[in-house]
Structure 1
Amino acid sequence: MTSAPPHPPPAGPHPRIGVLGSYGGFNIGDESILTSVLGCLRAQRPQARLVVLSRDAAHTRAHVREADEVVDWEGVSRNRVHDTLASLDVLVLGGGGILYDGEARRYLRLVRAAQERGVRTFAYAVGAGPLGEPEDRETVRTVLAEMDDVVVRDEESRLVLEEVGVEREITVTADPALLLEPEPFTDRMMRNEGVPAHGRLVGMSVREPGRAAEKLDEGDYHALLADVADFLVRRLDAHVVFLPMERHDVRHAHAVLSHMSAPDRGRILHGAYSPGQLLGFMRHLDLAVGMRLHFVIFAALSGLPVLPLPYSGKVFDFARRIGAPALVGVAREQAGLLLAEVDRLWDEYPQRRADLRSRVRELCGLAGETCARCGALLDEIGGSPDPDTVSEVRRLSA
């Protein structure tokens, strides 16, 4: 372990706190994480200067109210980014799934640059894996060893980091988005989207194959989810609403819709909504079936019967933690099993509701612990929080 440079003088009551993650990428999951992290930091230090390092600063400025500054970290000179890092008292990495092959080294080079300038660093409920590339593994080992605190959002991430060779305390909490507050999704919004105001509604989430879901066969899972949607239309006399959590999801939702025998009972949300508004929309649903992690998180927060369709470990882990059924894989030959699981989920949910709510409360408490640990680091660098904010921080950890 290399020795870190001396830390700068105490920051005082108005620290500059940088937040680095996969922000500005038009992904509702990442943006919900950013909203929650900034909310935590603002509760901890109302007078702090919050600086977001974004992949698309213009997008982040337009959609994030809590940030005082937003700067690009891609496509700009290294000196410019390093000047921003040097101006910080603390750099918060994450949260979300950013420590994986091809990306981990890019984020952690900035963390290392901050450390070299005496900036304190905190890993905020990050996700890790897969990590098989030697350069990424070495960077993770060396940089995380020098961070002030490392918090991951699930047990799988801790195991990945231990396998890589990270030899330090790693705390497991939960995804920061569990602290997201819902915003109203109004009747006018419903009408504008053509979603019926009365009758049952089922939410669905689909995603594209990619680095996180390389084994998905597009035609296979499009047809499978169309079978599920048609079944729910018949079984519940429902309309099915697809919620795009990322811009590429729209194309895949249309593909599923094209395979349905009852496409007239399907809708795709096309408006640009904040994470809080999409969480608010979930309150209109009766059941949820989906692939994206934060769709499943939003469903759980809303108290819905939810069937996750895991494509990666992070979805399996969250399904396990909320006690939800989770099928292995998303393949057409599983159609009968999947339909039977959806049917059982609907029938048994009244008996499962209390257990789900209890598990979600526990996870929200764990998400609040990340905020409290970050606050402890801020206490170390000086400038205790305003007494009026202490109760809010305690609420996050309750």
Structure 2
Amino acid sequence: MKKCVISGYYGFGNLGDEAILFALVRALRSSFPGTDITVLSGNCEHTASSYGVKAADRWNPVAVWRALRASDGLISGGGSLLQDVTGLGSLCYYLGVMWLAILAGRPFWIHAQGIGPVRSSLGRLLVRLTLRRARGISVRDPESKEELVAMGLAPELIEVTVDPVLTLDREVADLQMGRRILERWGVKGLGEQKIVGISVREWRGLTAYRLAVAEAADRLVESGCSVVFLPFQYESDVAVCRDIIRMMNRPSSVVDEPLSVVEMASVIACLDLVIGMRLHALILGHAMGVPVVGISYDPKIDRFLASVGKEPAMSVEQPDGEVLIEAVLSHR
């Protein structure tokens, strides 16, 4: 394709999705130099300036239509776009963009997506009817393929690949940049102590898991580590981080500023361990060669951990501080 449109959850400050876009644009430019890329975004100015692409307002049907008509095709993904946990509206939006591509006479591809959960009968029907029109389908884990097959799609049409962020490596990180950011937010002992990064998020009003994280963080500090909280969705994650810090008895830090993909990769590359609820905190940690400990709130966490031979240390629905502490301390 000389001209392509990319659809996903871009331009909303979610660092995981921004990392997907960063990796996807990087791969397209490596494989197809000179490709004209337009991203459907919630913040066109930020997306265009951050990635050197064109951007169209994802909420403006006319802008989306024009972008599709001017393109050679649509890439939908990656990320967890085809799910109805956050509501049927989100699922219908991404499927709707695919139907706009069909109406515009343009092919579309599903790229490295994590599928589901899609719990509603209507949602599953819509996914099946839409994806049967796809030029190609790739998913980021075997369970996503199983989910699509269960919805009625032919297994031979679905390729299992990896999350785009796993194609990144330490070459994208700048260790000096990472150290400067950590020092700016009060992380002490760089080069002398082990540094542990923690990524958490709000989930359905549950709070008991926060105490378990606070207890584990305290134990890490008592054992001689420095602990820093890493928000992946600024500013909502910061509130959860600060709530956990208030529960702690020992000092810790939080990176209280929005970071770019390269900045967060640089910070994570400086760490000795990542404890994560956020999927892409775990994926970036693994990509940077840093050990990870996962806290499950969604099947996508379990799927990724299984792909690297691990299990979640605990779930947010059944928090167990002692089990989390044991898993964390085993990486000391």
Q: What's the TM-score, normalizing by structure 1?
A: 0.76
Q: Do residues 190 (structure 1) and 182 (structure 2) align?
A: yes
Q: What is the Cα deviation at residue 332 of structure 1? A: 6.8
Q: What does residue range 1-398 of structure 1 map to in structure 2 within 5 Å?
A: 15-65=2-52, 67=53, 69-74=54-59, 76=60, 78-101=61-84, 102=88, 103-167=90-154, 169-181=157-169, 182-185=172-175, 186=177, 187-196=179-188, 197=190, 198-209=192-203, 214=204, 217-218=206-207, 220-235=208-223, 237-247=224-234, 248-262=236-250, 264=251, 266-330=252-316, 334-346=320-332
Segment of structure 1 superposing worse, 246-255 or 318-327 = 318-327
Segment of structure 1 superposing worse, 249-258 or 284-293 = 284-293
The AA in structure 2 aligned to 1:121 is: F
Q: Cα gap change, 1:82/1:335 in structure 2, threshold over 3 Å: closer, same or farther?
A: same
Q: Cα gap change, 1:27/1:333 in structure 2, threshold over 3 Å: closer, same or farther?
A: closer
Counterpart residue number, 1:381: none
Q: What is the Cα deviation at residue 333 of structure 1? A: 5.6
Q: Cα gap change, 1:297/1:80 in structure 2, threshold over 3 Å: closer, same or farther?
A: closer
SS in 2 for 1:151: strand
For 1:342 and 1:258, the matched residues in 2 are separated by 20
The AA in structure 2 aligned to 1:243 is: L
For 2:129 and 2:146, the matched residues in 1 are separated by 17
Q: What is the Cα deviation at residue 331 of structure 1? A: 5.4
Cα deviation digits, residues 291-338 of structure 1 (max 9, x gap): 111111111122222211111111111111112242341357612222
Q: Which runs of 5+ in 2 are unaligned?
A: none
For 1:73 and 1:344, the matched residues in 2 are separated by 45
Higher relative contact order, structure no. (Cα contacts within 8 Å, ≥ 6 residues apart): 1
Q: Cα gap change, 1:332/1:96 in structure 2, threshold over 3 Å: closer, same or farther?
A: closer
SS in 1 for 2:274: strand
For 2:274 and 2:123, the matched residues in 1 are separated by 36
Contact residue 4 and residue 38 of structure 2 kept, 8 A = yes
From the CA coordinates, give the structure whose radius of gyration is larger. 1
For 1:339 and 1:145, the matched residues in 2 are separated by 46
Cα RMSD (Å): 1.7
For 1:333 and 1:133, the matched residues in 2 are separated by 28
For 2:319 and 2:284, the matched residues in 1 are separated by 28
For 1:228 and 1:296, the matched residues in 2 are separated by 17
The AA in structure 1 aligned to 2:57 is: D
Q: What is the Cα deviation at residue 193 of structure 1? A: 1.9
Counterpart residue number, 1:387: none
For 1:272 and 1:339, the matched residues in 2 are separated by 29
For 1:37 and 1:260, the matched residues in 2 are separated by 39
Cα deviation digits, residues 143-193 of structure 1 (max 9, x gap): 111111000011221122122222351111110011235231424333322
The AA in structure 2 aligned to 1:94 is: G
Q: What is the Cα deviation at residue 221 of structure 1? A: 1.2
The AA in structure 2 aligned to 1:234 is: E
For 1:206 and 1:33, the matched residues in 2 are separated by 19
Q: Cα gap change, 1:189/1:111 in structure 2, threshold over 3 Å: closer, same or farther?
A: same
The share of aligned pairs that are identical, in percent, is 30
Contact residue 54 and residue 60 of structure 1 kept, 8 A = yes
Cα deviation digits, residues 37-88 of structure 1 (max 9, x gap): 11111112212211111122123124223x1x101111x2x23321221111
Q: Cα gap change, 1:134/1:17 in structure 2, threshold over 3 Å: closer, same or farther?
A: same
Counterpart residue number, 1:365: none
Q: Cα gap change, 1:301/1:58 in structure 2, threshold over 3 Å: closer, same or farther?
A: same
Contact residue 200 and residue 238 of structure 1 kept, 8 A = yes
For 2:278 and 2:183, the matched residues in 1 are separated by 25
Q: Which runs of 5+ in 1 are unaligned?
A: 1-10, 347-398
The AA in structure 1 aligned to 2:220 is: L
Moved over 6 A (4+): none
SS in 2 for 1:19: strand
SS in 2 for 1:98: coil
The AA in structure 2 aligned to 1:242 is: F
For 1:300 and 1:47, the matched residues in 2 are separated by 30
How many residue pairs match? The answer is 320
The AA in structure 1 aligned to 2:77 is: G
For 1:343 and 1:81, the matched residues in 2 are separated by 49
